[in-house]
Amino acid sequence: MPARAKTCLALVLLLALAVSGVLGAAAAGGIAVDDGALATALKDAYVTGSGGTGQIGSSTAYVMTGAGLTTITDSGSTDPGNYVAEISGTVPVPSDKVKVGLYYESTAVSVITVKNVQGSGFRFGYYDGNRDFQALSSTTATAITVRKTDGSTYGVTVTDSAGNTLYTYDGGTDTHFSVEPILASGKAVSSINDNTYYGGFSFYRYNGGNIHVINVLDIEDYVKGVIPYEMSASWPVEALKAQACCARTYMLMNFGRRSSLGFDLYNTATDQVYRGTKSATANSDAAVDQTAGLYVTYQGELAQTYYFAADGGATESSQNIWVAELPYLQGVIDPYEADIDFYCKSWSKTFTTAEISARLSQYGISALAEVQLTLSDVGNVIGLTLVDGDGSTYSFQKSACTRFLSALGFQYTSYHFTVIHDAGADQWTVSGGGSGHNIGMSQWGAYSMASVHGKNFQEILGFYFRGVSLSRGV
């Protein structure tokens, strides 16, 4: 199909498909999509003509692609092919430790308690410019409380559970008081409130105010604290391995991004969700261990490994939703999600004109007359125009298109949706599938690739990030 946006759909089916020999060029029938894309799986489509109405069904059919005649699968999509992210080359890693903000900005604290879960006390000190811990003192207390020192701009005071002062520290703006748990052998674990963590902690009096609490830990341990919260720890290990590579690469790509706050990354979906060890399992930890040190790269450089819940049928090109055009973030038709069931696979709402107009009144709509969709080559909505009864219009472009869905009260939004108006019944039906920004890896698609199709993590990454490799960090 042409690269220009698609704005209308005409489907013509000649019901006889002449197939002789090795499918010669003079087939007597075919399927043509003119200025649009199918909004459903091909096998579920219905065609109306002089001979009546019939369903295409799931028998073998063919489509002409750039690679020639390709079999259309029972799910209604063309064979997605096999793409593999091969392991090659290296990529520099500035430190083997990452700093993650746990409490910061509006959640910064005046007092916080850290406890040993696996440990026998704490060392007191600070992390130097190389993120190496410099010990100054220690305690055998298994629970310590850190609070702002009264009358000091940057100082903190450490007490035990009985309130006895164990240590005071004021490094000004140069260094921040830090602790590491003591453990003779094995890996120490500490708790703060309801979560448990590997590594140590820094306490930064940000701008002389409340304390930013920062977890300082090995990169692989950080990834182990991301995987169970960005995917389920019970998912197939190959899907988890793909997620581990994405999370590790995202971390390195954004290393130092929040340095003015004293750390590298937020612990929320603003960066990627990190909650420590509590929900990790042997399965999720194995996914990290088995991909340790692997980063997703494109032509020797770190890739932007965006991921999201589900695409509804197709991922999207980065430039169509955001701004930058990246060669490995181009939209692909995704047949894999169709093979499994999950919470946001499909969603739909039907409104009267009065109801949908009321929802869209913030955009100047009093009586909606038309919704014009601009579709990308893979069928995602990348432009949307509301037309009011008086002829006035309001348009959304790129990432703003999901505001239309949010205004209609959808819990999940993606760019894979349709709007159908039945004027006779006074009904507007908005239907779609997926959840997220549609850029990069579909997590539910990765689940299906691993569980249903037996794909490994290199194939999953290769499918969603075309042309990438896996490079070892050094």
Q: How many CA atoms lie within 13 A of 414 on its CB side?
A: 29
Of the pLDDT bands very low, low, confident and very high (cuts 50, 70, 90), residue 255 is very high
Domain count for the chain, please give it.
Answer: 3
End position of a domain, from candidates 166, 188, 209: 209
pLDDT at position 8 over 90? no
- Burial of 110-134, coded b for 16+ CB within 10 Å and e otherwise, reads eebebbbeebebbbbbbbeeeeebe
How many other CB atoms are found less than 10 A from the CB of residue 401? 23
Q: What single-letter DSSP state applies at residue 49?
A: E
Mean pLDDT of the region 330-337 = 98
Rg, Å, the chain Cα set: 27
End position of a domain, from candidates 151, 184, 209: 209
Mean pLDDT of the region 18-29 = 30
pLDDT at position 206 over 90? yes
Q: What is the pLDDT of residue 458?
A: 98
pLDDT at position 3 over 60? no
Chain centroid to CA 406: 19
Mean pLDDT of the region 263-281 = 97
pLDDT at position 28 over 70? no
Domain identity same for 301 and 445: yes
| Residue 88 within any structural domain of the chain | no
Domain identity same for 266 and 192: no
Name the average pLDDT for the chain. Answer: 88
Domain identity same for 298 and 271: yes
| Residue 18 within any structural domain of the chain | yes
Q: What is the pLDDT of residue 2?
A: 33
Mean pLDDT of the region 327-345 = 98
Distance CA 215, CA 200 (A): 6
> Domain range spanning residue 65?
10-72
pLDDT (tens digit per residue) in 72-103:
444 445 578 999 999 999 999 999 999 999 99
Domain identity same for 237 and 291: yes
Of the pLDDT bands very low, low, confident and very high (cuts 50, 70, 90), residue 123 is very high
Those residues with Cβ within 8 angstroms of residue 216's Cβ, 6 or more apart along the chain or in another chain: 97, 98, 99, 100, 127, 131, 133, 178, 199, 200, 201, 202
pLDDT at position 59 over 50? no
pLDDT at position 43 over 50? no
Mean pLDDT of the region 1-10 = 34
* pTM of the predicted protein model: 0.84
The C-alpha torsion from 282 through 284 and 287 to 290, rounded to 10°, is: -30
Structure tokens of 89? 């080359």
Mean pLDDT of the region 382-411 = 98
| Residue 116 within any structural domain of the chain | yes
Mean pLDDT of the region 424-435 = 98
Q: What is the pLDDT of residue 79?
A: 75
Residue 404, classed as helix, strand or coil, is helix
